[in-house]
Structure 1
Amino acid sequence: MTQIPSPADELRLIDTELRQLDARRSVLLTRRAWLVHALRQTPAPTAPPAPGARRSETTGPGVQNALLLLGGILLAVAAVAFTLVGWGHLGITGRSLVLGAVTLAALGAPVLLLRRGLRSTAEALAGIGLVLTVLDAYALYAVALPRTDGVGYAALASAALAAVWAAYGVALGAPLRAAGPEARPSLRLPLPAAVAAAQLPLLLWAVAASAGAYAVTAALLVTAALDAVLAPRTPMRSVRAVAAAGAYGLGGWGTFAAGWLSWTSAGPGAAARAAALLLLAASIALTTAWGAPKPGLGTNTATGVATAGGLIGVVAFGGVLRVSLPGMWTVPGHLVCGVALLAVAGAGLPAPVRRGLALASGCVGALSVAWALPVVAISLLGPVGRVGSVWSGAPADARDAVTNGLPWPADVVTAPLVLALVAAALVVAVRTAAWRPYALACALTLAWATLIVLPATLELPYAAALSVHGLLTAALLGYARRTGPRVTALVLSPLTSLSLAFLALASEGATLTVLAALTVLFAAAAPRPGLGPVAAPAALGYATALACAAGASLGLQPPHTALLVLLVPAAAALLAARTEDGPTTVSVEIAGALAGLLAVALAVTEPALLATVLALCGLIAAGTAVREDRRPVGYAATALFVLASWVRLASWGVGSPEAYTLPVTAAALLLGAYRRRSDTSVSSWTAYAPGLSVTLVPSLFAAWGDGQWQRPLLLGAAALAVTLLGARHRLQAPLVLGGAVLALDALHELAPYIVQVVDALPRWTPPALAGLLLLALGATYEQRIRDARRVREVLGRMG
């Protein structure tokens, strides 16, 4: 049963509910006010498009900027058209009023627009106003100053426009307090435009004054200097970008122009003026790099700028030296200036500047070395041309010895000095532990190049050139034995010795003396630790060349000279057997093998001596194969002995193949028997098949083409003996090979009779016989299979 409250109780409940509703309404209203404020501060997030809905291809701000830009362009075009076309329809007063009013309106409207927060619209109208100021300047020139020099007026107008735009940009760039403390709108276009206009006044004034190339270049560099001062000091990115572009663009243009003036200057005065301009450019670059890192100029960029400054300074001083000294001192003068950069790059300079000056000095040194490289190449490789005129007589001097009639480069007398200066600079300047070994290696190479080019450059006597090359070779070997950059010395010493050997080809006495001295020198250096892999084969190579030269000096023919050359492989085999260093042993053996091949090539024209040379080579190889670790060389020794016997038989006019194959068969069978005796797992096919095939197969082919009876009879007897031996000793290879050759040999003997019988039989006999044969085979098929299996099992049980 439900109890109905009294009216007083019900009224009390209703009042309670109303108070709760009022409190909830107040909370919701407070939350609503906060949400409205938040939505006014930040744009509402866009909901993802519903499936199938068309997606917007641009944003609202993008459409706004496009419209403003297009509108500004159209208004600017209209203003230009009015100025150029409709200008003449108005009087002077009307013209002034129209242009002044429109310009003031275009420049004043951004102030109101910025107060309302419409920055993009203000930028568009400000751009129109800047274009109108240019048109105002043109209108003033066309109406009031038509006879004034156009270039000079343009210089003045560009300076005035730059000042006006800068003032306008600064005025509108200040915070506008009327818009509230939170809004600080400003224009971004006038100040970059002012900096861009400021690039023109000095250049146009110089052109208008017809001041000449030096003044125009100075104007470019001064403008670039002002840009370089402004770029790192402005907080606006757009202004910094325009100033940096002007600094690099005009600075590069001015530097190139100053360099061209220095290169084309004909006297010290012109070179000094060009040097002053280049020093201005260098000071701009070095000052720019001094305070790095700065806004827009990182450490790497600063290093590059400092490098450019150092190179410009070298060109400046070097240009003065070029016109003041003879031509041969041009490169040394620039090099001295480059080395001086290392002295300037002291510890008091910032790190980017120090690195940049060091890099600049390195670039100058590298270019100087590149200038001297042709002389080094001629001095080193020129003697190779003596190969075509061996022992033609001692040349007049060292230069004639290396050029061999070719022209010598001009103004390269100072090439040795350049190479020596760069080497000394590397030794003195590079002290870092990581780069010190590389610097020493480069310095050693440059010192070597200095001594290589010195005799030809100074036109020393021919004997002096030989002495310098020889002493340099010995010094490099000694340097490699005692101190650091061993690899560099080991590369340079054989290279120098090769140049010396070719240089000595001009004279017979010099050739023999130099080759003998090089052989002794490298042979003496070979036992030294670390020198053997290079010195030992070099000694053998020069010993080979000495043998050839000695043979030619004694009047021996090449085949007889080959016997002298064979002394080198014999010595190499003895030396390799006593050498404990693995790389040295391998290099010695390779050098000996090459000398042996040369001996064979020299004797190839005389078969009798060629056989002797091959046999001696085989003997040397057999002696090498006695060593435990060189047993495979025995195969080469066998091949050489076989080739020697074949060449000897060919020289005797022997045409029977058995004379060539039986020695090989005998040697192969002996080796096979020795191998099976030492290793019972070796099959008869591996041990005996190669040796038997060498004689049986060629003899079988010869027997089939021989019309006499003696060869088939002897071949059959030999094949029968081989078959019986294979059956006796249960060896598969002799049994199969001997039986096959015996069967084929017998078939060759019966072939004439078989042909006669076939010719005498009727034509139906062969098909009938073939049919009977097939029937017989079919009837006894199973028995034949059992017989074949039994034979296979018997052969399988044999060795």
Structure 2
Amino acid sequence: MDGLVPSGSVPRFLVDATGWDLAILAVGVTTVALAILGLTGRGWGIGATFVALAIALPTVPVVFDLPWPSLPFAALAIAVAAYVLSTHVKLPASQLSILTIVAVICCGTGLTGSLASRGATLAALTVLSIGTLTGGLLGASTARRATGWLLSSATVTGLVTATAFAADLPTGRLPYGIVAVAALFLALASARTPLTGPATWAAEASGHLVALAAVATATAVSVKTVATTISTPAIVLVIYGALLGLLAVRAAPDDDADRLLTSKRWYTAGSITAAFAAYWLLLADARVSVIEVYTVPFALATLLAGWLELRRRPTLSSWTAYGPGLCLLLLPPLAQILLTEDEPLRRLGLGVASIAILLLGTRQRFQAPVVVATIMLVVQTGYEITLLWTLVPSWLPLAIGGVLLLTLGATFEKRRRDLRRLAGAITDMR
């Protein structure tokens, strides 16, 4: 089997007619198209011409008994010509609609007809890729260039995929080819000047969509193929993260610095996220079960990002800057402690970390570290007391609790004033 159907079963043509019959049909169709042109005026000339070509030109291979795949290639030639003309020439909306319809119908017909063999499929996708890339690079308007970028990303990705299957490459290699297409489109978008505008955004969006398709393909391949490990999507994520990092450090024009500074932050965050996702996949592939190995590096990166943002905006709340990182740092080990037993090292490490965070937060007068660390210490202290309860005589905790209640009752007013001062001090923190 060379394509979608068995070799040797592809008919030359599905039309049983003589050359004269088809020639007469072509002449009749052309006459009708010219009649429509005469009735509607010159403004419809290009659209009527392509309608006539779309109907008459596919009959030429049959009339002259040309071998397959001349018929689907004739349809593809009409589709590419109609698309290139619609993207490079300023035409009325009515003619653009006609050319779009002709291009879509002829493209579908030609591409479907070329799927019967590998060579024809690759040739068809190559022609379509060149045509759509031309529209993205040289389109007459912003909307047409943006459309060209989106279409070309699909055709080039299809070409790479078809090439991989035609060359009988291992399925684990396909995601690398797709992510290379993403790198190509992101590079082309970065080479555009200016770096803003719908066309450039469409080029970048095409690259990101193709990169996500590469990640999805790598994940599907790793799940379906036993021979391919989970390292394949991890490597693809590392490549995508590197591409995002390169986008974050590219030069920015002075006329739109604020917007590009925001985009740099998003690209940096995306690059870090992709890197950590790859890191987690590699840990899972290595069967690492220690939860802190997964969470602590990402939590530290989140805290570092919050510290940098707090330096840039001194009025920023500590909850916004440090809250997510602290929760990510302390909550997973606390949950592990509460759900499992015999975790002395984890309990000791969490207690030391909570005390250190509490002291640092108190010194810097940051509300989020003080509150989060205090809650962690209270919960952990309660957990340790419940463990201690089972190791001592049952009357001892009751006696200690009674002594504490008597002490608190005797100094209730003083303790209430202390609590008010503590609440005021915490409220005054940033």
Q: Into which bin does the TM-score normalised by the smaller protein fall? A: 0.7 to 0.9
Which letter maps to 2:367? Q
Aligned to 1:662: 296
Which letter maps to 2:55? T
Residues 1:424 and 2:34 aligned together: yes
- Give identity over the alignment, percent: 27
Residues 1:446 and 2:80 aligned together: no
- Quick check: 2:74–2:110 contact (8 Å CA) kept in 1? no
**Which 10-residue stretch deviates more, 750-759 or 539-548?**
750-759
Q: 1:640 aligns with which of 261, 274, 283?
A: 274
Deviation at 1:659, TM superposition (A): 1.0
Structure 1 residues 492 and 791: CA distance shift in structure 2, 3 A? farther
CA–CA distance in structure 2, aligned partners of residues 650 and 452 of structure 1: 58
- SS of 1:566 mapped into structure 2: helix
Q: 2:69 aligns with which of 463, 471, 481?
A: 463
Which letter maps to 1:520? I
CA–CA distance in structure 2, aligned partners of residues 706 and 525 of structure 1: 64
CA deviation profile, 1:249-300 (whole Å, cap 9, x unmatched): xxxxxxxxxxxxxxxxxxxxxxxxxxxxxxxxxxxxxxxxxxxxxxxxxxxx
The residue correspondences of 1:319-468 to structure 2 (distance < 5 A) are 390=4, 392-393=6-7, 395-399=10-14, 419-431=29-41, 437=43, 439=44, 443=48, 446-447=51-52, 449-451=54-56, 454=59, 461-468=67-74
Structure 1 residues 674 and 455: CA distance shift in structure 2, 3 A? farther
CA–CA distance in structure 2, aligned partners of residues 592 and 675 of structure 1: 29
- Quick check: 2:73–2:124 contact (8 Å CA) kept in 1? no
Aligned to 1:697: 331
Deviation at 1:668, TM superposition (A): 0.7
- SS of 2:341 mapped into structure 1: coil
Structure 1 residues 398 and 795: CA distance shift in structure 2, 3 A? farther
Residues 1:684 and 2:291 aligned together: no
CA–CA distance in structure 1, aligned partners of residues 274 and 210 of structure 2: 15
CA deviation profile, 1:344-393 (whole Å, cap 9, x unmatched): xxxxxxxxxxxxxxxxxxxxxxxxxxxxxxxxxxxxxxxxxx9x963744
Which letter maps to 1:653? R
Residues 1:738 and 2:351 aligned together: no
- Quick check: 2:122–2:159 contact (8 Å CA) kept in 1? yes
Deviation at 1:516, TM superposition (A): 2.2
Deviation at 1:449, TM superposition (A): 4.0
CA–CA distance in structure 2, aligned partners of residues 732 and 582 of structure 1: 42
- Quick check: 1:423–1:442 contact (8 Å CA) kept in 2? no
Q: 1:474 aligns with which of 68, 80, 102?
A: 80
Residues 1:519 and 2:138 aligned together: no
Deviation at 1:646, TM superposition (A): 0.8
What is the TM-score of this pair, normalised by structure 1? Answer: 0.45
Deviation at 1:793, TM superposition (A): 2.0
Q: 2:242 aligns with which of 581, 604, 619?
A: 619
CA–CA distance in structure 1, aligned partners of residues 200 and 56 of structure 2: 33
Structure 1 residues 478 and 603: CA distance shift in structure 2, 3 A? closer
- SS of 1:527 mapped into structure 2: helix
The residue correspondences of 1:208-223 to structure 2 (distance < 5 A) are none
- Quick check: 1:505–1:511 contact (8 Å CA) kept in 2? yes
CA–CA distance in structure 1, aligned partners of residues 382 and 28 of structure 2: 87
CA deviation profile, 1:528-575 (whole Å, cap 9, x unmatched): 222412222222222111211222233222222101111111111112
CA–CA distance in structure 2, aligned partners of residues 649 and 467 of structure 1: 50
CA–CA distance in structure 2, aligned partners of residues 597 and 498 of structure 1: 26
CA–CA distance in structure 1, aligned partners of residues 209 and 174 of structure 2: 15
Residues 1:539 and 2:152 aligned together: yes
Deviation at 1:658, TM superposition (A): 0.8
Structure 1 residues 636 and 703: CA distance shift in structure 2, 3 A? same
Structure 2: unaligned runs, 5 residues or longer: 223-228, 251-259
- SS of 1:655 mapped into structure 2: coil
CA–CA distance in structure 1, aligned partners of residues 396 and 14 of structure 2: 94
Aligned to 2:225: none
CA–CA distance in structure 1, aligned partners of residues 38 and 149 of structure 2: 35
Residues 1:588 and 2:194 aligned together: no
CA–CA distance in structure 1, aligned partners of residues 280 and 333 of structure 2: 16
The number of aligned residues is 395
Structure 1: unaligned runs, 5 residues or longer: 1-385, 401-406
Which letter maps to 1:567? A
CA–CA distance in structure 2, aligned partners of residues 695 and 491 of structure 1: 56
Structure 1 residues 721 and 452: CA distance shift in structure 2, 3 A? farther
- SS of 1:688 mapped into structure 2: helix
CA–CA distance in structure 1, aligned partners of residues 352 and 112 of structure 2: 63
Aligned to 2:226: none
Deviation at 1:588, TM superposition (A): 1.8
CA deviation profile, 1:596-640 (whole Å, cap 9, x unmatched): 122112211131111111111122223233452623233332322
Residues 1:652 and 2:286 aligned together: yes
CA–CA distance in structure 2, aligned partners of residues 573 and 422 of structure 1: 47
Structure 1 residues 596 and 670: CA distance shift in structure 2, 3 A? same
Aligned to 2:256: none
Structure number with larger C-alpha Rg: 1
Which letter maps to 1:662? V
Aligned to 1:790: 421
CA–CA distance in structure 2, aligned partners of residues 504 and 706 of structure 1: 64
Q: 1:748 aligns with which of 383, 398, 405?
A: 383
- SS of 1:526 mapped into structure 2: helix
- Quick check: 1:515–1:545 contact (8 Å CA) kept in 2? yes
CA–CA distance in structure 1, aligned partners of residues 393 and 58 of structure 2: 89
- Quick check: 1:719–1:742 contact (8 Å CA) kept in 2? yes
Looking at both structures, which has the greater relative contact order when contacts are Cα pairs under 8 Å and sequence separation is at least 6? 2
CA–CA distance in structure 1, aligned partners of residues 25 and 212 of structure 2: 42
Structure 1 residues 663 and 781: CA distance shift in structure 2, 3 A? same
Deviation at 1:700, TM superposition (A): 0.8
Aligned to 1:630: 263
- SS of 2:149 mapped into structure 1: helix
Structure 1 residues 734 and 610: CA distance shift in structure 2, 3 A? same
- SS of 1:706 mapped into structure 2: coil
- Quick check: 1:726–1:732 contact (8 Å CA) kept in 2? yes
CA deviation profile, 1:622-665 (whole Å, cap 9, x unmatched): 32334526232333323222211111100010011111111211
Residues 1:599 and 2:214 aligned together: yes
Structure 1 residues 483 and 742: CA distance shift in structure 2, 3 A? closer
- Quick check: 1:668–1:691 contact (8 Å CA) kept in 2? yes
CA–CA distance in structure 2, aligned partners of residues 607 and 587 of structure 1: 31
Aligned to 2:355: 720
Over aligned residues, Cα RMSD in angstroms? 3.5
What is the TM-score of this pair, normalised by structure 2? Answer: 0.80
